[in-house]
Amino acid sequence: MSVAVRAADPVQRRILRVLVLAQVVGGIGNGAGIAVGALLIKDVSGSSGWAGMGVVMLTLGAAAFTIPLSSIAARSGRRPALTLGWLSGAAGAAVVIVGAEIESLTIILLGLVLFGASTAANLQSRFAAVDRAAPGQIGRSLSIVVWSTTIGAVAGPNLTGPGAALSRQLGLPDLAGPVLFSAGGFAAAGLLTAILLRPDPLIHRADATGAPRGIRAALPHLHGQTFTAVWTIGSSHAVMVAVMALTSVHMQDHGSALSIIGLTISLHIAGMFALSPVMGWLTDAWGMDQTILLGQAMLLVAVAIAGTSGRSDVQITAGLVLLGVGWSASVIAGAAKLTASLTPEHRPVVQGFSDLVMNLAGALGGLLAGIVVAISGFGTLNAAAAVLTAPVIVLVLSGRRVAGGVV
């Protein structure tokens, strides 16, 4: 290890600690808000048909903020970009609360779009974790920040009860309570980032004058290993969201108890995040391509198990857990590959574009999943999801051949 790397280690450790802390408090806010977003919309609109718009608005909001935040990072650094993302999410939560109080569906939906900025900040935090990481530590640094999301994903939805009690004390609708926790969590994450994320993780800055910005700045770099990484992340996310989004409907149609459905989704989320440090270690120690291929293999096995589960709660749960683990391996290794394929000054905008693709792929996957299941069933959905792994495998293997690697 060089002297320069040793000198940078304390700085990198401090950056990781701050990012993890912000992810924990911000993640709790995300989990709390997402848990009741659909319920709020249903309550105000009086229709279950509108409930699904909660996830759609959050996803569109996250997609809308990814490029602007990455452009700010490229010009001014990660600290202002992440701070703006978290604080925008806090403002969105406040708008949702106002919409709930005055029973306005339009205001709630607009608030959820702004709320989605917190998801964009959450995603871009994992790239901030590797801005100063040594080459052999990219996967592990990234995965530590991803792993910290587990705490919020588990704790956030459990704040529904305490949130309702707090709402009653403040004279607000019960379902607005968890969103109060969201507003507080996002605001805390933004302040922690603004105050403690020093020095800024992003050393290199793009030229603010004359250089292309946003998507135009990312497009010239979408070839070779960078293209493979972006495709891997987007495709793997689409597979995961498509199958996960319809699992609860599939289980309910087969008479599964709500408690079992909840447990299955919780274990799926644990599969996504709990083993992320292991996936980061594999990425660094075994190789990015190998870990991506492992992830794709897991996704294939997962959809085979889930798609043939029928009425078996045990089998569908096993499939969903493996689906989460396969997503973790693919997305962490894909993000590491993306980072390694770019020069530091070009990373922020391309990473932002990758997050945009990831969000849009997830939204499209969730939308098409409902159509496929309505027409042909849950088994067909899983078979279609399996097909999406083929291009990833071909891209990774062909890239290794071009690079002279052993396939």
pLDDT in tens, 351-398: 999 999 998 998 888 878 888 888 999 999 999 999 999 999 999 999
Classify domain 1-202 at the CATH topology level: Growth Hormone; Chain: A; (1.20.1250)
Per domain, the residue ranges of the chain are 1-202, 212-400
Q: What is the pTM of this model?
A: 0.82
To which H or E segment does residue 209 belong?
none
In CATH terms, are 1-202 and 212-400 the same topology?
yes
Q: For residues 5 and 133, what is the distance between their CA atoms, to the nearest angstrom? A: 9
Mean pLDDT value of segment 213-239: 90
What is the per-residue pLDDT across 77-129, written as a single tens digit (0 to 9) for each?
999 999 999 999 999 999 999 999 999 999 999 999 999 999 999 999 999 99
Fold of 212-400: Growth Hormone; Chain: A; (1.20.1250)
